[in-house]
Amino acid sequence: MAAVPIGAPTRNWAGALVLVVAASPTAADGERLAALLDAMSSYRADFEQTVASQFGEVLQTATGTMHLERPGRLRWRVDEPYPQLVVADGEHVWIYDPDLEQVTVQPFEETVEGTPAMFLTDTGMLEQNFRVRLDSPTGESVKRFVLSPRDPQSRSLFRTITLTFSAEGLLTQLDIVDDLDQKTGMVFRHGQANPVLESGLFEFEVPAGVDVIGNIPDDVPAEPAA
Q: Give the CATH number for residue 175.
A: 2.50.20.10
Q: Which of 17-31, 52-66, 150-164 has the lowest mean pLDDT?
A: 17-31
131 found inside a domain = yes
How far is the C-alpha of 41 from the C-alpha of 31, rounded, in Å? Answer: 16
Q: Quote the DSSP letter at residue 11.
A: -
CA 59 vs. chain centroid, Å, equals 19
Entry pTM: 0.78
* Residue 17 structural domain: 13-194
Confidence check: pLDDT of 216 > 60: yes
Domain count, the chain: 1
Give the pLDDT band of residue 226 (cuts 50, 70, 90).
very low
Q: Which of left, alpha, beta for 143 (phi over 0: left; psi -120 to 50: alpha)? A: beta
Rounded mean pLDDT of 64-70?
A: 94
Give the pLDDT band of residue 27 (cuts 50, 70, 90).
confident
User: What's the angle, vertex CA 69, arms to CA 67 and CA 75, rounded to 5?
Assistant: 35
Instruction: Give the model confidence (pLDDT) of 81-108 as tens digits.
Output: 889 999 999 899 999 999 999 999 988 8
225 found inside a domain = no
